[in-house]
Chains A and B, each alone.
Chain A
Amino acid sequence: MKRIKIDFVKLLRGYKAGWVGISSDFKKVLVWGKTLDEATQKAKRFEKKIYFFPSGESYSNFIGIIYYGDKIKL
């Protein structure tokens, strides 16, 4: 069975802002842009599919973490 692992911590390390374009095997960042438009423009030279994801964001907002002291609830 096929398995997919996306290591965002490793992929986004060093990118403090903007958008990255991630390879279709999810192993490396192929392009970076200050804006999404810039990143997609740079990605045009690649024939393979590229997945775009913003870097340097506060991702806790994504998955709705609630802090209760030192405990966490989703």
Chain B
Amino acid sequence: MGIKLNYSLLPGLEKTGVLAPMIPVTFKNGKHEFSTIALVDSGAEGGVISTVIADKLGIKWEKIPAKTGFSVGNNFLFHPIDINAIIFNHEFSLKINVVEGIFAFKCILGRKDLFKRAKICFEGYKNQFEVAFREFN
């Protein structure tokens, strides 16, 4: 059984009518834990968090060798790290990318993490999406 989430309207976008699929997530890195609300992005290859969130998770991202990534807007530097995530009581490990120079709130889950763990059905005509986690033995 899945969980349905309404697409969310973010402040400042009221006149645009643009809605975003947002999902609550808790990240765990050892004894550090941080809960936030992430964008579910089927166009993102991997998950992304800002350095602000990484710092809160006690991730020494500066010590992880940087790699170069690219997006529609520009290139960026990122530091990949393995951490755990909990979504709706489902805990799983994922590789998240700490990206330099992005907005503090940025937290995106993409195809290599959330989409590998759950069936996600976007229903744009209803402004909602459904997340149903796969059961592993």
Contacts and interface: CB of A to CB of B under 8 A. Distances in A.
B6 A51 contact: no
B42 to A, nearest CB: 11
Interface of A: 1-9, 12-13, 22, 24, 26, 36-37, 40, 49-54, 57-65, 72, 74
Given A3-B5, A50-B35, 12 more contacts: A3-B3, A6-B5, A7-B9, A9-B10, A9-B14, A37-B56, A51-B37, A57-B104, A59-B10, A62-B20, A65-B16, A72-B18
Contact of A62 (B2, B6, B105): B105
A66 to B, nearest CB: 8
A9 B11 contact: yes
Contacts, number: 97
A9 B9 contact: yes
A13 to B, nearest CB: 8
B81 interface: no
A2 B131 CA distance: 11
A63 B20 CA distance: 7
Interface in B1-35: 1-6, 8-14, 16-18, 20, 22, 24, 26, 34-35
Contacts of A74: 18
B11 A4 contact: no
A31 to B, nearest CB: 12
A26 B5 CA distance: 12
Interface in B28-68: 34-37, 39, 52, 56
A18 to B, nearest CB: 10
Nearest to A56: B11
10 contacts: A3-B3, A4-B4, A8-B9, A8-B10, A8-B11, A12-B11, A57-B103, A59-B11, A59-B13, A60-B12
Contacts of B103: 54, 57-58, 61-62
Nearest to B55: A36
Contacts of A7: 8-9
B124 to A, nearest CB: 11
